[in-house]
A and B are shown apart, each in its own frame.
Chain A
Amino acid sequence: KAGVTQTPRYLIKTRGQQVTLSCSPISGHRSVSWYQQTPGQGLQFLFEYFSETQRNKGNFPGRFSGRQFSNSRSEMNVSTLELGDSALYLCASSKGLAGSETQYFGPGTRLLVL
């Protein structure tokens, strides 16, 4: 069974630009979550989507947004990039929204903002 896939794997952008990251969950999984990982803050929750609706949101500014499509694939967008947005962005999928379900992570997209 294929795991979570994320594209692209690496990105270099400049301040002020915007970026879109893509995530395909494990087949049959309907919940997709996004996390940001940095050396200083560790892994932090961005948001979770289920059935094309955002179900939960972390403490990030509105520049961070996402969406989910009917096939459960998800995208996240960061507008007006700042240097501090440089991070590894991880997508995780789980079967549903039961609240105690295991999340399986993809390889991540490494974003560098110059």
Chain B
Amino acid sequence: EDQVTQSPEALRLQEGESSSLNCSYTVSGLRGLFWYRQDPGKGPEFLFTLYSAGEEKEKERLKATLTKKESFLHITAPKPEDSATYLCAVQAGWEYGNKLVFGAGTILRVKS
């Protein structure tokens, strides 16, 4: 069974204090790893897709990396508006379709 584990469960940072979120996965046949951001009461907002080990993608203060067993979401000099729940999800296996298996998420709070 495909499993996705995110750590830490919650993270409190001061504005400008860089850190990383971890997503480890155990799947058979990774097809894609996705990062989403979710604000309270809203649907997940797409951030990145990573397909193969060694791949990196950046967007503003966020950078996502992928290895064969885990992915990291690096947040550089975060601002209060980066506060949200960050979700990691995988598409894996040989089933037809785009089914996502999600981790439980990391709740990030950035204080000014």
Contacts and interface: CB of A to CB of B under 8 A. Distances in A.
Contacts of A110: 41
Contacts of A106: 43
A1 to B, nearest CB: 14
Contact of B42 (A48, A101, A108): A108
Given A56-B99, A97-B96, A102 B105 contact: no
Interface residues of B, number: 26
Contacts of A48: 97-99
A43 B87 CA distance: 9
A92 B81 CA distance: 24
Contacts of A105: 36, 43-46
A64 interface: no
A51 to B, nearest CB: 12
Given A42-B104, A42-B105, A43-B87, A102 B99 contact: no
A44 B100 CA distance: 8
A59 B63 CA distance: 33
Contacts of B51: 100
Interface residues of A, number: 29
B102 A42 contact: yes
Contact of A90 (B31, B43, B98): B43
A90 B44 contact: yes
A102 B41 CA distance: 21
B99 A33 contact: yes
B91 interface: yes
A100 B43 contact: no
Interface string B89-110: 1010001111111111100000
Interface string A82-114: 000000001010100111111111111010000
25 contacts: A4-B43, A31-B97, A31-B98, A33-B99, A42-B103, A42-B104, A42-B105, A43-B87, A45-B100, A48-B98, A56-B99, A58-B99, A90-B44, A92-B100, A94-B98, A97-B96, A98-B98, A99-B96, A100-B31, A100-B32, A100-B98, A101-B98, A102-B49, A103-B98, A110-B41
